Amino acid sequence: MKYKSQKVAYMFFALSIVLLLLQIVYGFIMGFAHAGFDGLHDFIPFNTATATHKNLLVVWLLSGFMGAAYYIIPEESQRELVSVPLAKLQFWSLAAVGVTAVIGFHFNWWEGRKFLEIPRPLDYLVVVNVLLFLGIILVTLFKGKEKTTTAMVLAMGLFFAALLYLPGMVWFDNQSVDSFFRWWVVHLWVEGVWELIMGGILAFLLIKLTGVDRELIEKWLYVIVGLTFLSGILGTGHHYYYIGAPKYWLMVGGIFSALEPLAFLGMALFALAMYRKGEKNHPNKIALYWTLGSAIVSFAGAGLLGIAHTIPSVNIWTHGTLITAMHGHLAFWGAYAMIVIAIITYAMPLMTGRKLYDRPAAHYAFWLSNIGMIGMTTAFAAAGVAQVYLERKVGMSFMDAQKAIEVHFWILIGAATLFTIGIIYYAVNFFQHGLPTDEALVKE
Amino acid sequence: MFFLGGTVVFFLVFLVLSANTLSSGIPRQTHADKVSQAVIDGKILFDENNCMGCHTILGEGAYYAPELTKVVDRRGAGFIKAVLTSKQPWTLSGRKMVAYGFNDKEASDLIAFFTWIGEIDLNGFPPEPDLKK
């Protein structure tokens, strides 16, 4: 750690870990409900559980991105953050809005719009919060000595992510129009600007962990950003196949979705190439695991499993089934959860001065969570394929098909248990680092 | 430059297609002229109660409860009204649904919404089961 103000990242990282743990609890509630045990239904019905699960994900990832920015931007621009008290205020308001939203979901206070369930009044608070965050980051960046490509890509990603939240705040009477704009937010986030954030964090980590020249790494970063937008913008079309929009989206969405894995493939090849080229033997091996893991798993989850059902002739059968959950879980885990965990794993020893990276817990955390998540994805895939076949092809009723695939949810719960043990190891290891301290400050 | 140029071009294409979709495509395929006050009120209820948190509609939502796009064809208005107005959690299908206990107006607004949804041209979704005996 080179700048005192980087310490503020810790609060965001800690919030991420706590919300991740809570997100898992709601995942289990849904897993058991799918397996036929909905004992909590009277208190936490399925729609509450799913809204909570998804929004906790969004909030902990955003908190992780913000923490990452507060850590990376001072180091890249070579100056302290412009205001630590404002950053702390931004943290507490983020936490307050997040907690209020989640509590609201338990009292029927929400909007029934997948991923954007946070009710409108809180949306405005989110906007204020994010503007404050962007203000701190951008002013720091522009007052800084350096404006590196890595920092610019990260900042651009954060800026557009904020901008794209706005189309989700408009009310439309027509369900199809509503859905059309909802994907401007959700798709252009996860298959557009969030990839910039991911690319920025990835580049920063590779520079630090492999010791390869910044120039080379940032050249790759340009290519990845380019590929992301070339494919991702028109790739939005794969959400428009069957919601009441014109047929040309089948062709446009189909072609550009088929190109979307390229950006992720580029990222995976890039990370591996830098790893092989790197001569620096950084002691924090486990941070490198998470970094490379993120690049590889995102290609599998977001890239390959994505294209597995964005082909229009496949999607007509799989649209609105558990196949989406299969893709969603591995994609979010690989692309965004793992990159947030990677930057946390890299930053914690540097902020606290405690070098806990070679502890067995750190390794168990990586392997168990990944094996568990791959198992969960496989369980969703088996359940999803069977559901599509029974319900869509053979014409079995929804509930009969659900009964027939219940068994896969026990596999899901088993795999999720492994995943959870991994995350608990991670959380324990995280909190054993203790609090960040100025004693950990180092000069170049 | 190639990437920057490409991004700008594809972004413009995206905007043009979106404008066309919003101005003529969706209004035509969704029969926008049939969006009555009842349909809008139904959508508000659908939204406020996060029905999409269990069901799917137009193939979007959660995967815990049945797809509702063609629910009026499949079940008929009478059955739907019974589920929506029930004071007890509906369990007859095997999974529990929250007992919303809607009044008659609310139920008929939601049915109007589902009826409108069911008539949208969805480019062939949901497909007919082709292996059904």
Q: What is the mean pLDDT of residues A386-400?
A: 95
pLDDT score, position A444: 56
Separation of alpha carbons B46 and A324, rounded Å: 22
| Residue B107 near residue B84, CB atoms below 8 Å | yes
Q: Which residue of B has its CA nearest to A398?
A: B66
| Count, residues in chain A | 444
Whether the CB-CB separation of A346 and A362 falls below 8 Å is answered with: no
Q: Are A429 and A376 in contact (CB under 8 A)?
A: no
With cut-offs at 50, 70 and 90, classify the pLDDT of residue B64.
very high
Q: Is the pLDDT at B3 greater than 80, yes or no?
A: no
SS3 annotation, chain A: CCCHHHHHHHHHHHHHHHHHHHHHHHHHHHHHHHCCCCCCCCCCCHHHHHHHHHHHHHHHHHHHHHHHHHHHHHHHHCCCCCCHHHHHHHHHHHHHHHHHHHHHHCCCCCCCCCCCCCCHHHHHHHHHHHHHHHHHHHHHHHHCCCCCHHHHHHHHHHHHHHHCCHHHHCCCCCHHHHHHHHHHHHHHHHHHHHHHHHHHHHHHHHHHHHCCCHHHHHHHHHHHHHHHHHHHHHHHHHHCCCCCCCCHHHHHHHHHHHHHHHHHHHHHHHHHHHHHHCCCCCCCHHHHHHHHHHHHHHHHHHHHHHHHHHCHHHHHHHCCCHHHHHHHHHHHHHHHHHHHHHHHHHHHHHHHCCCCCCCHHHHHHHHHHHHHHHHHHHHHHHHHHHHHHHHHHCCCCHHHHHHHCHHHHHHHHHHHHHHHHHHHHHHHHHHHCCCCCHHHCCCC
CA of A51: which chain B residue's CA is closest? B53
Place of tokens 């794209």: A164
Q: Which helix H or strand E contains B56, and what residues bound it?
A: strand B56-57
Average pLDDT for residues A52-73, to the nearest whole number? 95
Tokens representing A179?
């859905």
Indicate the DSSP class of residue B33: G
Determine contact: B87 vs chain A, CB below 8 A.
no
- Residue A73 has a pLDDT of 96
> What is the structure's pLDDT at B5?
84
Q: CB A398 to CB B20 under 8 A?
A: no
What is the tens place of the pLDDT at every residue in A98-137?
A: 999 999 999 989 988 888 889 888 888 988 999 999 999 9
Q: Say what percent of chain A tops pLDDT 90.
A: 79
List the 23-42 stretch of A: residues with Cβ below 8 A of B.
Answer: 30, 33-34, 38, 41
User: pTM for the complete prediction?
Assistant: 0.95
Whether A313 has a pLDDT exceeding 60, the answer reads: yes
Give the alpha-carbon dihedral of B62, B67, B69, B71, to 10 degrees: -140
Token pair, residue A205, equals: 């980590």
Of all residues in chain B, the one with the smallest CA distance to A31 is B64
B44 touches chain A (CB under 8 A): no
pLDDT digits (tens, 9 = 90+) for B17-45: 999 999 999 999 999 999 999 999 999 99
Within an 8 Å CB–CB cutoff, is residue B49 touching chain A? yes
Is B66 part of the contact surface with chain A (CB cutoff 8 Å)?
yes
Q: Which residue of A has its CA nearest to B129?
A: A393
Each residue of A25-47: pLDDT tens digit? 999 999 999 999 999 998 999 99
Could you give the domains of chain A? 4-436 (1.20.210.10)
Instruction: Give residues 397 to 416 of A whose Cβ lies within 8 Å of B.
Output: 398-399, 402-403
Chain B residue numbers with beta carbons less than 8 Å from the beta carbon of A399 are 66, 93-95
Q: Is A78 left (phi over 0), alpha (psi -120 to 50) or beta?
A: left
- Which pair of structure tokens corresponds to residue A217? 């790494």
- In chain A, whose CA is at the least distance from the CA of B132? A394
Cβ-defined contact of B58 to A243 (cutoff 8 Å)? yes
Q: Using CB atoms and an 8 Å cut-off, which of residues 135-174 of chain A contact chain B?
A: 173-174
A:58-77 residues touching chain B, CB 8 A cutoff: none
